[in-house]
Structure formats: structure tokens, C-alpha cells
Structure 1
Amino acid sequence: MTGLIETYRVEAYNTAKQSENKMHDDTVARRFGFAGGLVPGVDVMAYMMHLPVAAWGRAFLERGLIETRFVKPVYDGELAEVRGQETDGVITIEVESRGELCATGTASLPAGLPTLSISDYPATAPVAERKPVSPASYPLGQWLGSMPRSWAGDAADEYLDDIRETDGIYVREGLGHPGLLQRVMNKVLVDNAVLGPWIHVGSRMQLLNAARRGDEIIARAKVTGNYEKKGHRFVEFDALVVGNGITPLAHCRHIAIYQPREQAAA
């Protein structure tokens, strides 16, 4: 079966203007050659997830698989067009803004879920003192600590407003948006080092259970890659995102440039 999916249009919003990551700040981002502060990749990914949720509803939130790659920035206030085409149960997704391809991805509904045990992903305390980022911040094979987060009540509503989500399923069924699971993946990076400007490059997320609105969520992450490529320093994580300390919500692989070329050379 093949078919085009209705294009989803979002006026992009930079939710991270005041964040510690100054790649979302206009002045700093321009120093790295961008036109302005970048809309966070996790929020662009949230835009992309609108399509499979519109197609498959709660089933996607309970067992959907999505893979994304960010290739060009999406900027605050610009129109982002999220286009999809379904072929044999796989939705191919593209995000275009300002006439440029900004992100690509695929989404699907696997027939079965991987067998994962929380005991294989130990809970680890965050570092006592964050130090300036370096290759030593993310040792290969290391389990990284992080602090849990929750978005309940007004915070949950504000998040849906920030990502311009129009699907009523989250409020109607009291569910947490899967974009929040990506936010806690980013949190692993910042809970373990004082970063300069950095960039989320791509993610793979296999959802395991639908998150509930207000769940306390945390990513239990292990470093699976730490390397230099074209002057950038990359880190890769394998993680289980856990709700309320007991429920596996998603198995994630996360890739980020933790020291962009200009900064790495400084």
C-alpha cells in the first residue's frame, strides 16, 4: 500500500532561546555560520511525530518506531512543512523550511517489541560537579547519570503549545507527548558536563509504552560512541527511558555533536 499523507505545517518556535545551549541563541549561532538560533532538534522531531500519530493513533504511542536525521536548521518563526508518504507500512517523512530539506526520517509499527529489562539499564546518580565538556566527559562504555523530569498540569499544556501540537489525543487521553522522551535524552548530555554550543544530529526511538501525562521520566544511558569526524566531536548514547522508575517507555539511540568544529579547535 502506498499513499501520500496530508502535509502538516508548523510555525516553528525556538523553545530554547534562554537555554544553556547557546546554539539556540541568534548571536552565537551566527558565529557558527547559521542564520540565527536553531529550533531544537528534539522539537523538530516532535513535529515529525505528528504524522504517524495522525495515521495510527495510540498504537504508535505504544509501540511505534521512529528514526530521524537533522540535515539543515529550522529557524524560529519560519514555516516548517512536514511531508509524509506511506509505503508498505512505513511512513517516510521529510521536513522542509525556507525551501531547504531540514530533516528526514521514517516511522513504522513493528509487529513485536524488543525484550528489554530495566535491570539491564542501571539507575546511575548524576555527576556531583559538572566540569567543562571534553572527550573525557563521555567515556566509551560509561553509564551516565541524569535527573528525572516531569511535565504535569500547566507544564504539559505549555509543552504542547510550544511544539504547536494540534492532535487532541494527548489531552483527551491524558498522555505524554513522545517528544518529552527526547528532551530527557538531551538532558543526559547537560547533566554530565558544562557544554558550550552543541547540536542534536539524529535519533532512533522505539516506543515501548504510552507515557502518561505528568510521568516522572528519566533516560538511563550508556555511551556507545565518542569520536571526531570532520573536526566535530560526536557522542552516541544507547538508553532506556523509564517512567516513574518502573515502566520502560522507549529504547533510544541518540547522536549529538557535543563540540562543534569551531569550539573543538578553541
Structure 2
Amino acid sequence: MASHIETWTVQAFNTAKQSENKMHDDAVAQRFGFSGGLVPGVDVIAYMMHLPVAKWGRAFLERGLIEARLVKPVYDGEIVNVAAEEKDGALSIAVESRGELRATGSASLPAKAPLLPVNDFIAVPPVAQRRPVDTTSYRTGEWLGTEPRSWDNKAATAYLEDVRETDPIYVHQQLGHPGLLQRIMNKVLVDNAILGPWIHVGSRMQLLKAAQVGDELVARAKVTANYEKKGHRFVELDALMVANGRTPVAHCQHIAIYQPREAAAA
């Protein structure tokens, strides 16, 4: 029997208005058929993570599993409701705004985190010189890396404010929010090509260890698919997130449209 979890409500904030990805810019996003700049998908997933962390606490940050599919855009300033139902030990999550479904997902707490040897994922640096994206930018089977990134206490606190996270566990225990790992996954794409407007459409993330504030994080990512569908070019990644050069903190699959089709002229 399913049981309802208290809904989490936030006012969405577009953290990427000034980013290189102009899909977060109002004028550019409208060329692709949207009503304005998109709130980053990784931030929508961060909103979703509030409920499983509220339910399972640090255990979820150490071994939780979350999957998310971004159905429709979330826009800056919208009131977003994140609802969940629990059934058979798992949460079914829905994100709604203005009466429309914006994202769906699920979360669960495995009995233990899987063991993933670091050396099964090849460490490479990002490309020495980024080039404009094309259909050959992310070749299937290719390994990609990211520039190391860390969030000190000030930056980690600012991130919590950006994604409207109020759970005290991150500040009290000096833990990195797992949404930061999703940002690193986006960097796999950004650090290896000069992208035009692009869209994150879904992720699966198995947490392996709670990340700490100040950890130096990189992704070791393999391109598992690159294809065209309905005029869009998609890329799929399978990656291990590694802290401080040695500690696996998450296993992630990431799907993005790296070359979206533009909306037809009216």
C-alpha cells in the first residue's frame, strides 16, 4: 500500500542565466519553442533530492539511488511542488508547477552501496582545446574527463541557497549536496566541446559515499550512445564521480540533447 510523503515546495531559481548554455537565456530559449530561459535540469533534480534525504538522512547520501526524467521545463520564479508516494520501500516522485507535470523520478535506499573499482573507469583530462560541437564531438566508446572542481564552505552554502535547500544536514555535517555531482556531470559535456544551447533530459545516480565540503571532484565518463531522434542529437554518458583522486562517490548515467532542433518559424 502506498503512503503519501509531505510535499516539498520551492520557488524555482534560474542559477544559469549567465552561463555559456544560452538555453537558460530567455531570448534564446524562445527560439527553441520555450516561453523563457530554463531552470537547469540538475537543479530540478536537486529539488527532487530533498524528499529522500528528509526520509533517510545521511544513509541516502551514502548509498541512495535516484532516477529522474525531465519532462517539461521549469522556469525562473515558478512555484514548484515536489510530491512523493512510498511503496515497497521506494519513493515515486513527481515535480509539478502551474498544474503541469515537469519531472518524474524515483528514489530508494539499497542495503549497501555497490563496490565499483576506480580503475574500471579510465581517468583522462578534458580536451586540450575545445572545439565547436558537432556530431563527432562525443564518440561512442570515448572516455571523457573534467577539470577538477571543489566547493569550499562558502560556495557550498551559496549552492544550498540557490537550490532552496533548507535541510540542516549539509551544514551541520559539512556534506556536499549530491546536486553538485550532477553539475559535474554537465561539465563532462562543457569541458570537452563548445556547445550551443543544450538540454539535460534525465539522470540516474547511485550514491557511493557522502561527499564532503571541499572535496576535489572529477568525472571519469564513457560515452555510451550518440544518436539523432526527432531532429535532436542526444548523448548518453556513464561515469564514476571521484573525490580527491581516489574515492568513488557516485555512479551516474546522464542523458542530454547536445544539439536541439530549433522551433519552426510561425
- Fold match (TM-score > 0.5): yes
- 2:110 maps to 110
Give 5+ residue unaligned stretches, structure 1: none
Residues 1:12 and 2:12 aligned together: yes
The whole-number CA distance in structure 1 between the counterparts of 2:208 and 2:27 is 39
- 1:121 maps to 121
**How do residues 240-255 of structure 1 correspond to structure 2 at under 5 angstroms?**
240-255=240-255
- 1:41 maps to 41
- 1:212 maps to 212
Give 5+ residue unaligned stretches, structure 2: none
Tell me the TM-score normalized by structure 2: 0.97
**How do residues 1-266 of structure 1 correspond to structure 2 at under 5 angstroms?**
2-262=2-262
Question: Which amino acid in structure 2 is aligned with residue 81 of structure 1?
Answer: N
The whole-number CA distance in structure 1 between the counterparts of 2:185 and 2:196 is 17
Contact in 1 for aligned 2:45/2:179 (Cα 8 Å): yes
The whole-number CA distance in structure 2 between the counterparts of 1:80 and 1:215 is 30
Question: Which amino acid in structure 2 is aligned with residue 128 of structure 1?
Answer: A
The whole-number CA distance in structure 2 between the counterparts of 1:17 and 1:173 is 31
Between 65-74 and 149-158, the greater mean CA deviation after superposition: 149-158
The whole-number CA distance in structure 2 between the counterparts of 1:246 and 1:188 is 18
**Deviations for 1:195-243, whole angstroms, at most 9, x for unmatched residues?**
0000000000000000001111111100000000001000000000011
Contact in 1 for aligned 2:62/2:113 (Cα 8 Å): no
The Cα RMSD (Å) is: 0.9
The whole-number CA distance in structure 1 between the counterparts of 2:41 and 2:218 is 19
In structure 1, the residue corresponding to 2:141 is in which secondary structure? coil
What is the percentage of aligned positions where both structures have the same residue? 72
Question: Which amino acid in structure 1 is aligned with residue 256 of structure 2?
Answer: A
Between 139-148 and 10-19, the greater mean CA deviation after superposition: 139-148
**Deviations for 1:77-134, whole angstroms, at most 9, x for unmatched residues?**
0101000011011100000012110000000011233221100112101111100101
Give runs of ≥4 in structure 1 deviating > 4 Å.
none
In structure 2, the residue corresponding to 1:137 is in which secondary structure? coil
Tell me the TM-score normalized by structure 1: 0.97
Question: Which amino acid in structure 1 is aligned with residue 106 of structure 2?
Answer: T
Q: Cα offset for 1:261?
A: 1.3
Q: Cα offset for 1:189?
A: 0.1
Q: Cα offset for 1:44?
A: 0.2
The whole-number CA distance in structure 2 between the counterparts of 1:99 and 1:194 is 36
In structure 2, the residue corresponding to 1:255 is in which secondary structure? strand
The whole-number CA distance in structure 2 between the counterparts of 1:212 and 1:100 is 35
Contact in 1 for aligned 2:33/2:262 (Cα 8 Å): no
The whole-number CA distance in structure 2 between the counterparts of 1:224 and 1:244 is 25
Question: Which amino acid in structure 2 is aligned with residue 146 of structure 1?
Answer: T
In structure 2, the residue corresponding to 1:113 is in which secondary structure? coil
Q: Cα offset for 1:262?
A: 2.2
